[in-house]
Structure 1
Amino acid sequence: MNTMTTDMTTDEIVRRFVEYYEGRGHRRITGSTLLPPPGDPVLFTTSGMHPLTPYLEGRPHPLGRRLVNVQRCLRTTDLDEVGDRTHLTVFEMLGSWSLGDYEGPQSLDWGYGLLTEGFGIDPRLLHATVFGGDEQTGPDTGSLELWQGLGVPVELTVEDNWWSNGPTGPCGPDSEIFLWTGDGPPQSTPTGDERWVEIWNHVMMRHRRLDDGSLVPLPQRNVDTGLGLERLSSLLQGRRSVFDCDVFDPWRRLLPPLWPLGDDSSLRLVGDHLRSSVVVIGDGVRPSNTGRGYVLRRLVRRVLTVLWREHPSRTLGDLPEELVRHTLDRFRQDVDPGVVLGVLREEERRFVSLLERGRRILSRPRFRGPLGEEDFHHLHDTHGLPRELVLSLRQE
């Protein structure tokens, strides 16, 4: 694996990123919570652009047309990926924006300069992907020519390089920057080799997709970039996974002695889901059976399922307050760690009660044989037992 030799901390990486863009006329804005603005259909903020949607659509921003920030995000789409080397449920996103000011090639040029000169990445380890065009929109020739001029190899794709926030709304072509993490010189292309890790996406947000699937121009041509902080930190610090960067130092120190789990993926999942739960609770969400509260409930219960796999006596009451406080400080949340621990313990108590009730119900003659869809619906609607919980209990 190619490794960097930097001793930059994650906080130093943030400082360099923000100062780099401030030196190019960008104003730093305060990141929002995980809760998106009213009217946004998503449960959680999934990218830095969510709080800026009105400004991307043409409303003047009070701080001008060039912005930079650090935004905490949560992506439920990555839940099943967590435990690998690059995915987290809750993470921080470094972002920069041009609200109708400069265009994509300028953004990419600055991004290349920050990565190579600011962070010391060998240009020979970089690869870019660019939108190759489809029946509605032509290829992104501006980005392609920029990369070719810099000597960075480019791969053209269609679906992989078109960014949208859903079936309708702002969208546009994007150019993604990848870093080679394999041994020896780079090989293949990003779509054909997982050793290429995506580190930065630059979206040329120029269009709005309508209900009928057609595209119309936005009032202004924007650029929206997003760079996962923990992923970048792990790569710059020469670590093998996002869980090995300095942000997770206290988790790696305190969790394994407390709960030996046997394999890295289980330890990563427990650390990720607990850290994410702390942040979600810190932003005011409480466990429930719907919406945001259900996402939190799933996170906590997935942790408990893993912990109890080997030792049913394990409890979240043993979670060190230091880890809760460290996480709240990391995400700039002014919340009492005791409140967070109380929410986690109460959710554990509820889960224990649900499991006991579930075992009693599943022992009834009706549910001892193979279960059909009608059985799953009945168990969920009548007894509050989700399918995944039923399947887990049947395996006991």
Structure 2
Amino acid sequence: MSTERIIRTFVEYFEERGHRRTTGSTLLPPSGDPVLFTTSGMHPLTPYLEGRPHPLGRRLVNVQRCLRTTDLEEVGDLTHLTVFEMLGTWSLGDYEGPQSLEWGYELLTEGFGVDPKLLHATVFGGDGQIGVDTPSLEVWRKHGVPVELAVEDNWWNSGPTGPCGPDSEIFLWTGDTPPHSTPTRDDRWVEVWNHVMMRHRRLDDGSLVPLPQRNIDTGMGLERLASLLQGRTSVFECDVFAPWRRLVPGLWALDEASLRLVCDHLRSAMVVIGDGVRPSNTGRGYVLRRLVRRVLTTLWRDDNSRELGSLPDELFRHTADHFRQETDVEGVRDVLREEEQRFRRLLERGRQVLARPRFRGPLDEEDLHYLHDTHGLPRDLVLSLREE
């Protein structure tokens, strides 16, 4: 099942059940939002989860592109990406958790053809404030799906304060043996879908108060789901990465971990640029700059003559088409090329500064602050140069 077919199947299934499709927004949150990038499908819908009527009604479905910097160091493993797409559904004060889980089970097993014997669920086990999520527990028991109770892993927060609630997560077994153990004990259980019963608001003092309405917020990572349905062992082997895995190794000889990082970060950088961000030393621009520099650091580790300008047009077009962006290929390429030249000049200056007698020994915090404030050399760059 191709990624595009997965999207169609998902959206049409929920449209048939009264959900209206919303247009997935860009990676950039509305003006005034303190978050740099949209991190989940629910982010643009926060006002409606808190009670404002949505113009399309109480049942919504969408596909939202997201960016998470919290997972940056994990990119290169089997499941994490920097920019990805989230399949989401919402009930804004309409149906409750059991109905959402019933539909989730039916779509996975009948719509996507997942063997029910390969499923496992986790459910909120209760704490001092909120009891066990018994309704969710009963749904899974009815379908014969094994359930594990957890507390911290099954409580969803939008932040230290704000909307929150218990959730039930659905996992798929990826091992080559019959399923055993539980999701918290065996990482061969891969989370595919999270159903949040968003009923509460956490206040500054840690207490909980009811939201004006009882909502359901579900999210499922598209690339992760595609890799599982396509029988792949990693998100980097699903069909959206096929052009990257076909073309990049012909440009640069990289080990598997480096190939994954380069493909993810370049693809992510293209999407960020396509949404209007440009490299800078602060905010969103710094995230973009960091992505590009991590790519270049990896590429230049073995050969500092490698250049981003040699990337084929197909990768730019494929990325823009997949994320539904109207992007000028040469414009995106120019941004990457300019950042590459800027980084190369910075590296040369950094090597010259670090060759001075003052910096030949161990560096302390005062040295690192001086190098940053006076010479514009970030800590991670300095440490990387010292390892050369």
Give the TM-score category using the shorter length.
over 0.9
SS in 1 for 2:204: coil
Residue of structure 1 equivalent to 2:241: 248
- 1:284 deviates by 0.4
Q: Quote the residue 2:196 is aligned against.
A: 203
The reply on whether 1:65 has 2:65 as its aligned counterpart is no
Find the aligned partners of 1:157 and 1:381 in 2 and give their Cα distance: 46
Query: Of 74, 91, 102, which residue of structure 2 is paired with 1:98?
Result: 91
Which residue is equivalent to 1:317? 309
State the 1:180 CA deviation: 0.2
**Structure 2 residue aligned with 1:4:** none
Distance, in Å, in 2 between the alignment partners of 1:264 and 1:335 is 29
How far apart are the structure 2 equivalents of 1:39 and 1:201?
28
Normalised by the size of structure 2, how large is the TM-score? 0.99
Shift in CA distance, 39/218, structure 1 to aligned 2, threshold 3 Å = farther
Amino acid at match of 2:156: W
| Alignment-derived partner of residue 11 in structure 2 | 18
Q: In structure 2, what is the equivalent of residue 227 of structure 1?
A: 220
Counterpart position of 2:318:
326
Amino acid at match of 2:29: P
Aligned equivalents of 1:353, 1:35: Cα separation in 2: 30
Structure 1, residues 208-257: CA drift from partner, whole Å, max 9, x if none? 11111111110000000000001100100101110111111110110001
Query: Take 1:130 and 1:383, find their aligned partners in 2: how far apart are those partners?
Result: 52
Moved more, 47-56 or 140-149: 140-149
1:89 aligned onto 2:82: yes
Aligned residue in 2 for 1:337: 329
Q: Match of 1:351?
A: 343
Match of 2:32?
39
Whole-angstrom CA distance in 1 between matches of 2:315 and 2:309: 13
Instruction: Provide the rounded CA distance (Å) in 1 between the counterparts of 2:88 and 2:242.
Output: 25
Moved over 6 A (4+): none
1:189 deviation in Å?
Answer: 0.3
**What is the TM-score with the length of structure 1 in the denominator?**
0.97
SS in 1 for 2:132: coil
Map of 1:304 onto structure 2 = 296
**Aligned match of 1:194:** 187
2:384 aligned partner, one-letter code:
S
Give how far 1:147 is off: 0.9
Query: What is the match of residue 280 of structure 2?
Result: 288
Residue deviations 1:349-379 (CA, integer Å, cap 9, x gap): 1101110111111111111100111111111
Q: Deviation at 1:85?
A: 0.8
**Structure 2 residues without counterparts, runs of 5 or longer:** none
The secondary structure found in structure 1 opposite 2:30 is coil
Offset at 1:38? Answer: 2.5
- Which residue in 1 is equivalent to 2:371? 379
How far the C-alpha of 1:311 sits from its partner, in A, is 0.7
Query: 1:3 corresponds to which residue?
Result: none
Q: 2: CA distance between counterparts of 1:39 and 1:148?
A: 44
- Aligned positions of 1:78-227 closer than 5 A: 78-227=71-220
Distance 2:327 2:241 in 1: 20
Deviations 1:143-202 (A, max 9, x none): 111111111111111110111111011111111000000012101100000100000000
**SS of 2:100 mapped into structure 1:** helix
Letter aligned with residue 347 of structure 2: L
Write the deviation string for residues 285-333 of structure 1: whole angstroms up to 9, x where unpaired. Answer: 0001111100000000000000001111001011111101110111011
Choose the corresponding residue for 1:366, options 358, 364, 369: 358
1:389 to 369, 377, 381: 381
- Structure 2 CA distance for aligned equivalents of residues 37 and 179 of structure 1: 35
- SS at 1:192 equivalent: coil
Q: For residues 45 and 175 of structure 1, what CA distance do their matches in structure 2 show?
A: 23
Report the Cα distance in structure 2 between the residues aligned to 1:170 and 1:58, rounded to whole angstroms: 11
Question: Which residue identity is paired with 2:312?
Answer: P
Secondary structure in 1 matching 2:172: strand
CA displacement at 1:116 relative to structure 2: 0.2
Task: List alignment gaps of at least 5 residues for structure 1.
Answer: 1-7
